[in-house]
Structure 1
Amino acid sequence: ATTSIQITVSPQPPCDLQYPVAAQTLVVGEALPVQLPTNACGAVDSYSISPALPPGLSLDQISGGISGTALDPAATTTHVITATNVSGESIFLWTLTVQPLAPCDLSYPLTVLLLDVGDTLTPLSPTTGCGEPETFTVTPALPSGIVLDPDSGILAGIALQDQEATSYQLTASNVTGQTSFGLVIEVLPQAPCDLVYPSAQLTLQVAVALADQVPSVGCGPVSLYQSAPALPAGLILDTVSGVISGTPTAAHNSASYQIEASNSKGVTTTSIQITVLPQPPCDLQYPVVDIVLTVGEALAPLAPTSGCGPIDVYTTIPPLPAGLSIDLETGIISGTALLESGRSDHVVIGGNASGSASAIINVTVNPAAPCDLQYSTSVLSLIVAEDIGVLIPTVGCGAVDVWSVAPALPVGLIFDATSGTISGAATSAQDPIEYLIEANNVSGSVSTLLTIEVLEPAPCDLQYPDADLVLIVGEVVDLQVPVVGCGTPSEFSIDPPLAAGLTFDSLTGAIEGTPSQQTAQTTHLVTAANSIGATSTNLTIEVIGLAPCDLQYSVAVLAHPAGVAVVPLIPQVACGAVELWSVTPALPAGLQIDPLTGILSGQALTEGDSLHLIRAENEFGFVEVSLEILIRNIFLFHAEPLTIGYSVATGQGSGSLALLCQEGSANPGYPTPLAGISLAIQYDPLLLEYAGVDQGADLLSLNGGTGPDFWAVNPVDGAVLIGALVSFTFGDVLVCDGDSEIAVVQFETNAANLQGNASGVSGMMPWGNPGTIPPLDNLVVVDGTTSVDPIVVPVPLQLTPQ
């Protein structure tokens, strides 16, 4: 028997596929030599490549050879070449880059470019052959304002600054190579324009240097400066910079000078008006500077001398005395004094267009001696305070320089030492006195006698500080002293007499004392008199009773439980008797105030807080006091003042504050067993820092000495919040039948703020939570459903330096 067996033996799969070069770089147009692969193991049936090769290159699928000529640039690409037979395949990674041709034949439309400053360059576009350029560059840098587009190679812009002919190398390049072009560029300057000097009008002075006049010019640069006509002697125009400088050597009338600035392209001009003045005169002098003449005396001519510049005109300030004059051209002073003038100073000024010089001379023209002095009367009889007007003397001969009187005139009279007049009003009486009055000048004197007596006037204009006095029984009257407008009273009188308790001084008219009984309004006639006469005034006086004052009760806050009779509160009041008592708003139901005595009593029916104003009044006024009423079970939170000493050098100090609870003994069921308590005390964090808190002695003794079952302390900014629950099982209770110590808070001083403070700080520590988180505040917990707001007393704080 026979059978057939079909046996197929497959070749090995290809392995270790390799090419001569793993990374190939070509240039467009460059032929690639055939790249044949090698392979180990099994024979290859076919070859494939992915991705496809760039145009112009191909893979022989039988031999695996790669050949051809690259036609287009191609970025670096990794191709996977696969050799395959029926048993398997092998791959090879082949990287290919096809670079573009290098650019060539770079050219621009011009080889020489001529521009003027300010010209806009018509864009010049380049042409190239071969490969596309990627970038354009130029060396050296182009003239200011001309730019080369690095992508397109276009030259454009506006020439901003002149430049000599310069060769530039323009280059177009890509990754493969580059090509260059030579271009010569010249930028010609503009003609100068807008020539300006700091001043278009110069006024100079001989021998005084001119500050450099530096021109400014627009447009193109200047190669030459010129002036027409030539500048005044001593002045120089710099032909390169245009600066005008120098020192004038001779005076010169005002003239116009045209300054020209030019270059090869053109000119610009400006005009300057220049005046050169002579030197001012100096050292003006006269041979005599102190001239003393008498009226009618001729002055020998005085001729001046001077230096420096010539003097064109002379003048004097002020003008010379009458009869004397100055020659305006020569400066000679001459003439005959006509009037007495006394010594006078005169400034002689000699000047020209540039300035002046001056000299001071003194001229005195003495008068004749005075004579025949007299007043309109030789005896003056005056009244005190009566104005005499003006008593004017007459005198013959010369003018008077100085007047004098001896002895001094009565006080209040004025003697004018320049005119001899007498005026004013004498202030006090005197018997007749003889006065010697003398008129003097430099040439002599004359005198006369004048007798003056001053009589006392009658009193007038009597007044008191207050013409309508309303006085209060028992109150001391402010001393009432009258004044008179004139005269001195010798006695005072009053009608009718003053009210009981008041006194009247008959020598001074003063009223004082303490009124002892009410008096209706009365008009009194007060008279002040002396031997010459009298004056009177009306004075109205009324004496009234006292209004009540200084009202107070024994407490400012009445805290009491509802349903318990209040111990009557009896008011204290001073000054006037009270006629009626009242209160607003109405007192809590069950409490009342006696309208005749002001006693507050009764039994409040419901709990509540209220503020009341209690008034005590009579027909003369009233007084009020505030009373706060708190109707509830009374628990008081308070503490002794907190006093802490601190170091001035460091600001450091510490202390503790015991927080106390006290129940009002009038509370129903006193002492009340309490299930819990919470306290909130505030402090100023600028002064104090919280340091800790301990349970008070009365809390520590709870629950057989173990303290409360719940104890919580919450320090917040500026406050300490404390809560305690006595017993979760109600096995013990807290009572505040005395000053029960609940907590002891430790504080330290804020050293940074107290360091160096040698004065100390005081203040108050209020109770209460300044915020709402955590929601703790001052509270007394009676049982699980009942709580009471305590009454709190702010704690005094004293920080003392040590």
Structure 2
Amino acid sequence: MLSEARIIGKILILVLLAALIGGCFGRSTKIQAPTAISYPTAEWVLVVGEPVEIPAPATEGDAPEHWSVEPALPLGLTLDTGTGIISGIPLEECPASFFTITATNFGGDASVSLEIRVHPQAPCNLVYSQDEVLGLIAFTEFPVLLPSLECGPSNDYTVDPALPEGVLLDPFTGIISGIPVVSQTLTLHQVTAANVTGSASFSILIEILPAGPCDLEYVDDDEVVPPFTPMSPILPGVGCGEPDLWEIDPPLPDGLEFNAATGVISGTPEVETDRIVYTITALNDHGSDQVEIALRISPVFNYQLEQISGEYDPDSGEGGAEVRVILTEGGDNVSFPTQILMISLALGHDTERLDLASVEPGQDLTDLNGGNGPEFFAPFETPTGFTLGVVFSFSAEAGGISADQPREVAVVNYETNPDVFAGDEDGDSMDLEWGNSSAGTPGVPAVGNTVVLDGVTGILPVTENVRIDLIPN
């Protein structure tokens, strides 16, 4: 009986073991690999120093038994291999990077991509070595101001309002330096250091006082102008400082004005004078500077035009006109008769109706320099007319010419445009205009109307436009 009981017990044990073993193998074939693994948010933007927890992604199928990540997460972050949770405190910046998160169980594995970027902390506690710069004189070196910044870095510094001209803010380092070239009343400037996460600001109070004027000059510092004709303003230049007041000594002649606020000389002279030297002073509370200019008021020289001929064939439209250029000196000029070394002139015409044919020396120039004519005679055709430079003599000792009597200095020949004048039985007239309206065009010389006495002193002649007639023959 005992033997039978033992046998039955062993059989039961074997049956139970078989059931257990069979049950285990049966379950292994039924485990499903994780599927449809996904994050609700697939892109994460983190900030250095700020704690973060990224939940495990949702999965379908049987629960994962292990989680892994490839490549390694940014420094400071860890993946819990049992739960799939990513957590920690980022310790350094990281550009946008993709990480593969894998969930695994006995049934297999599944992966999902997660994008993580780590931004720097926002800048904080921006401080400069000084919070005010007061009473600095323009054109003296501005103190170098160095920034101190905590928390996150910045290479994006800005300032509002703009610093005084000449003082610069380095946008990458935040250093402020330079030499102010203008004055400025008390102004509060806010400097901001920024990065992608945020910004910090610091205020600096700046006052720049005007420097005393320096390097005072007038480009036109030795002028001869005719009376009773509006003169071109004579303008000053200042190298530094901002004058509050301008003074001139002695006073200008009647008709001329000296602007005490700007230093500009202008007006219409009403009297003649010899050459007078004037002392001009520019002042402000911090200094002054002086310069001398010379001015003579005298009737000087005239350019005139005389038409010699002007006709055309109405059938062919061919023809032309000849014009004399006359130079005359005013008889009551202080230095009359004055020796003239050179002249320049510019004359325009209607280029649609007339073509420039030639510009030749006038008859009063043929006897110069022993019958050789002027030392230099150079016409230049422009898009609107022509310019002419004439040197009567290269040496003041050689004399040049005088214009105490009208002097023919050039003869200009024009040809008609046949397309315009063919069939015109009525005739035409048009203006010749003094001046070089195409000056400044590439290749065109900036030549105007000038009479040069001694190689240095240039005088603007009085000119008057003239109308020429073209008559059918």
Between structures 1 and 2, the one with greater helix share: 2
Larger Rg: 1
Higher relative contact order (CA 8 A, sep 6+): 2
